[in-house]
Amino acid sequence: MSTMNTVGRPTTPNQVETRPATLTGGRGLLQNEALIFEGDGWGKTGVDLPEPKGDASDLGDLVRKDPIGLPGLSEPEAMRHYVRLSQKNHAIDLAIYPLGSCTMKHNPRLNEKMARLPGFSDIHPLQPQSTVQGALELMDQLAHWLKTLTGMPAVALSPKAGAHGELCGLMAIRAAHEASGEHEKRRKVLVPTSAHGTNPATAAFVGYTVVEVAQTDDGRVDVADLASKLGDDVAAIMVTNPNTCGLFERDILEISRLTHEAGAYFYCDGANFNAIVGRVRPGDLGVDAMHINLHKTFSTPHGGGGPGAGPVVLSEALAPFAPAPWVVSDGDGFRLIEREEEDAAQAFGRLCAFQGQMGMYVRALSYMMSHGSDGLRQVAEDAVLNANYIKARLSDLMSAAFPEGPCMHEALFDDEWLKGTDVTTLDFAKAMIDEGFHPMTMYFPLVVHGAMLIEPTETESKAELDRFIEAMRALATAAKAGDVDRFKGAPFHAPMKRLDETRAARAPKLRWTAPEGSNLAAE
């Protein structure tokens, strides 16, 4: 393990604890950084504009009278502030980002170059359509390839994330049941226990009652349980495929047959499309609606809450209810259908003010076109190969949650192998940070005890995978050898230690307030 340490770094946590904290809070060429509000920017500004001439405003009484309450920084100060903050964080450009269910892959610079072309980046959604023909054509092409790759006849591009796509899909399903007069009796949505939390949340948000479907011992939907719960009171099922245990639902055709037989729709959570893109077309599996996280499968940077894009492909039955807007092309070029009339008479409405995330559309299409159809198929194959390599190389030390057979694009372990070590999944993940590795997804899916869900994606080389695997093996060996101190207080080397994540989620501080007695708030 010594080779994994930066030269001069202490090799055991105990040695670290006996070292004095630094005098300034900085460490290893990285200075401590306060909040931007805590600096001395209150009396200055980073810009120098001439005073406006004449009457400054037409706003009358609405003119702001108090200072705006933002600190000012010079350009170099602003640069340093944000670069210092960025260095406290992890990035896919630094190392593997093995978060399961997130598909954190390398973002080719070509995508960025394309997204920054002025014809894409400098346009406004209210521009006349005749002046943005290229952008509309790009949306039309992206829609074409999403339909082709999924084998589905329609796509709604505008949803801004996977969860927003789920909302879109369920609203289309509700609209379809309303149109056929069945909405009042179909009040339930069936969701497997292993589902991502957004699935039941979306169903509840749309007004449905969520009914859980059991899982089999081998990590798949329990078809008998599903069949027993399907009936004329069910609006839809929401099934993730490959599922959140990283396994392909072998009975998917039977699942969709039973669902349709009961008059319900099949919503597929397509967040794991990376594992099957170019190999399996969800349309062939009987899917009625599926979101595609462009920011997962088709690269495009994400994390920290955005940006994202979650287009939803729709079956023939649901297509008429797709939300506006969408692009059509006729002899005169491309135009947006924006109103609920004519072809769009049954559209359930709009999901957002404009057309969705243009920058993500450009990046996703750029990713598709630079890979080509054979390249996209290889994406899925390599993603699955990489996950199986990790599973195979760690299974002697760690317990695979579903040891039988290969996995798809994610390797899932439980905490059975940590029994008796006094080390938990959380401790193990925090010790990974000390070794320079971002942890995998922990404690999800909920159906696996102490879950560790590792998703390498296709963009990791064998050398990078081996580096990750060696670190995992070294830590696993240390845990089994009783080196508990290494884990209990970890991370020792990170700028932040263990945070109260529950409190951060339940009682987030979203606003800076001036300290008591300071005159800043009054300014």
Ligand X SMILES: *Cc1c(COP(=O)(O)O)cnc(C)c1O
Cα dihedral sign, 374-460-472-432: negative
203 binds ligand X (CB under 6 A): no
- Of 480, 457, 473, 355, give the one whose Cα is nearest residue 102: 457
Q: Which stretch binds ligand X (CB under 6 A): 14-22, 161-169, 214-222, 333-341?
A: 161-169
259 versus 293: smaller Cβ distance to ligand X: 293
Tell me the helix, strand and coil percentages in the chain, rounded to 5.
40, 10, 50
Of 291, 300, 272, the closest CA to residue 161 belongs to 291
Given a contact cutoff of 8 angstroms between Cβ atoms, the answer to whether 441 and 99 are in contact is: yes
Q: Does 215 bind ligand X (CB under 6 A)?
A: no
- Quick note: the x/- pattern for ligand X over 398-437, rule CB under 6 A, is ----------------------------------------
Nearer to ligand X, 269 or 414 (CB): 269
Could you tell me which residues come within 8 angstroms of residue 133 by beta carbon, excluding any fewer than 6 positions away? Answer: 333, 334
Nearer to ligand X, 153 or 307 (CB): 307
Q: Does 271 bind ligand X (CB under 6 A)?
A: yes
Integer Cα distance of 38 and 29 in angstroms: 22
Contact segment (CB under 6 A) with ligand X among 38-46, 159-167, 424-432, 446-454 equals 159-167
CA distance 480 to 424: 12
According to DSSP, the β-strands at 312-314 and 289-291 are antiparallel
**Closest-approach residue to ligand X (CB):** 162
x/- mask, ligand X, residues 299-318, rule CB under 6 A, reads: ---------x-x--------
Query: What whole-number distance in Å separates Cα of residue 208 and Cα of residue 189?
Result: 6
Tokens found for residue 3 = 């080779």
Tell me the closest approach of the beta carbon of residue 306 to ligand X, in angstroms.
9
The residue count for binding ligand X (CB under 6 A) is 13
Q: The tokens of 237 are what? A: 């099922």
Please name the amino acid found at residue 430. Answer: K
Residue 326: closest CA among 306, 352, 301, 344: 344
Indicate the residue among 293 and 388 with the shorter CB distance to ligand X.
293
Q: Is 162 in the site for ligand X (CB under 6 A)?
A: yes
Are 267 and 253 in contact, with CB atoms under 8 Å apart?
Answer: no
Pairing type for strands 188-192 and 154-156 reads unpaired
Site for ligand X in 84-113 (CB under 6 A): 101
Shortest CB 72 distance to ligand X, Å: 35
Using CB under 6 A as the binding rule, whether residue 297 contacts ligand X is answered as: no
Q: Judged by CB under 6 A, does residue 357 bind ligand X?
A: no
Under 8 Å between Cβ of 298 and 367:
yes
CB of 218 to ligand X, least distance (A): 19
In the bound state with ligand X, the residue whose beta carbon lies nearer, of 243 and 366, is: 243
**177-196 binders of ligand X (CB under 6 A):** 196
Which residue from 326, 330, 290, 372 is spatially nearest to 139, judged by alpha carbons? Answer: 326
Q: Closest Cα partner for 151 from 248, 277, 244, 242?
A: 277
Pick out residues in 311-350 that bind ligand X (CB under 6 A). Answer: none
Nearest approach, Cβ of residue 113 and ligand X (Å): 24
Closest distance between ligand X and the C-beta of residue 82, in Å?
Answer: 24
Q: How far is the CB of 310 from ligand X (least distance, A)?
A: 5
CA-nearest of 198, 373, 167, 200 to 281 is 373
Tell the residue number behind the tokens 């987030």, with chain if given.
508
CB nearer ligand X, residue 242 or residue 320: 242
Q: What type of residue is 47? A: V
b/e 223-255 (16+ beta carbons within 10 angstroms → b): bebbbebbeebbbbbbbbbbbbbbbbbebbeeb
Q: Which of 135, 136, 146, 163 binds ligand X (CB under 6 A)?
A: 163
Looking at the Cβ atoms of 163 and 314, the one nearer to ligand X is 163
Stretch that binds ligand X, among 128-136, 157-165, 362-370, 453-461 (CB under 6 A): 157-165
Strand partners, 155: 313
By CB under 6 A, residue 282 contacts ligand X: no
Among 149, 189, 255, 269, binds ligand X (CB under 6 A): 269
CB of residue 505 to ligand X, shortest distance in Å: 15
Binding window for ligand X (CB under 6 A); candidates: 160-168, 211-219, 278-286, 456-464: 160-168
Whichever of 71 and 98 has its CB closer to ligand X, that residue is: 98
Rounded to the nearest whole angstrom, what is the least distance from the CB of residue 359 to ligand X in the complex?
A: 15
Shortest Cβ 291–ligand X spacing (Å)? 7
Residue (of 402, 468, 459, 449) closest to 243 by Cα position = 402
Least Å from the CB of residue 54 to ligand X: 48
Rule CB under 6 A: choose which of 107, 150, 240, 299 binds ligand X.
240
Instruction: Please say whether the beta carbons of 167 and 161 come within 8 A.
Output: no
Q: Which stretch binds ligand X (CB under 6 A): 156-164, 407-415, 432-440, 511-519?
A: 156-164
Q: Which of 241/421 has CB closer to ligand X?
A: 241
Task: Say what angle helices 358-394 and 133-150 make with each other, to 10 degrees.
Answer: 30
Alpha carbons 102 and 97: distance in angstroms, whole number: 9
Q: How far is the CB of 298 from ligand X (least distance, A)?
A: 12
Cβ neighbours around 131 below 10 Å, total: 11
Nearer to ligand X, 163 or 203 (CB): 163
Residues at the contact surface with ligand X, assessed by CB under 6 A: 101, 161-163, 196, 198, 240, 244, 269, 271, 293, 308, 310
